[in-house]
Amino acid sequence: MPIRADTANARDVFGAVALTKRRRNLLALVSIAGLLMLWWLVTALAWVDKVLLPAPAEVLSAFMRSASDGSLAKHVGISLLRVVEGFAIALAVAVPIGILMGSFAIARGLIEPVVELLRPIPPIAVIPLAILWFGIEELSKVLIIAYGAFFPILVNTIAGFHEVDRTHIRAAQALGASRLQIFRDVVLRSAYPFIVVGARLGMGMAFIVLVAAELIASDAGLGYLINDGRYNFHTDQIFLGMACIGVLGFLLNRALLEAERHLLKWKYVGQ
């Protein structure tokens, strides 16, 4: 079996053998436990006002409460649905447009100026307009998330088309491939890794926009949970919301990484 590069005992810059997976896990445990200990210590010694920094146990009990009455699952579910819907729309729109722009100079010449005009505007600045246009319900949030995720996916998809190796195209031509077959088997295949990178960056942006949209106008979701905690001085709820966002983001990124491993298997096999 080939060894995955990321789990091999690679050497660090000074030539010493880098950590084994077991040691790395152990260090990770120590690092996170250390942070929790510090947090606990600060609250136990009452260095900071309890209202501003709740004890770990309080956040845990806030978690237990909202987990048992189902409210946490509702907030997580709504946020997850929004981000997945928005991301899916972005993927479905950005990849075909990127392919079009990557393949046809005229399409690129026409669309690129608009993209370059809109791209520097942070998607968060578009939220008020989206609320006016599409209302305060789900539609506006999903569309803003899609808008935010759209640009990283588009830009990377276009970049993928520049990385096509001319020799690969010639090899396919000499084997009798038609233009369409070259597009399918060489050009798209060469662009895949870039599209995947774009998707991961897009997901990161979708997540930022999700939380911003929920903070500004929402009556459910993790962003709402945080904002609601602020209004009611429930700092434990704020911490809970932040932790959930962290975990959700981690899991979504992990899911995309797994999809990448599967889709680009050839990149992950070593010597």
Partner 1 sequence: MHEARSRDAIIRIRDLSVQYERFRALEDVALDVYEGEFVCLLGPSGCGKTTLLNAIAGFVFPSAGTLSVNGKPVRAPGPDRGMVFQEYALFPWFTVEQNVQYGPRLRGVRGEDLRALSRHYLGLVRLSEFAGRYPNQLSGGMRQRVAIARALANHPAILLLDEPFGALDALTREALQDELVTIWEKERRTCVFVTHSLAEAVYLADRVVVMASAPGRIQAVLNNPLPRPRERASAPFFDLYRTIDGVLRTVLTHAEARPSTH
Q: Note the residues at the interface with partner 1 (CB under 8 A).
A: 2, 165, 167-168, 170-178, 181, 185-186, 189, 192, 264-267, 269-271
CB nearer to partner 1: give 2 or 120. 2
CB of 192 to partner 1, least distance (A): 7
From 140, 132, 126, select the one nearest 86 (Cα to Cα): 140
Helix spans in 119-178 (H): 127-134, 138-162, 166-174
Nearer to partner 1, 50 or 267 (CB): 267
**Closest distance of CB 262 from partner 1, Å:** 13
Residues constituting the chain = 271
Least CB distance to partner 1 at residue 160 (A)? 13
Instruction: Pick the closest to residue 236 from 247, 246, 226 (CA basis).
Output: 226
Q: Which residue's CB is nearer to partner 1, number 68 or number 271?
A: 271
Of 119, 122, 92, 97, the closest CA to residue 110 belongs to 97
| CB of 56 or CB of 193, closer to partner 1 | 193
The C-alpha atoms of residue 256 and residue 89 are separated, in whole angstroms, by 16
* CB contact at 8 A, 153 and 90: yes
Q: How far is the CB of 182 from partner 1 (least distance, A)?
A: 10
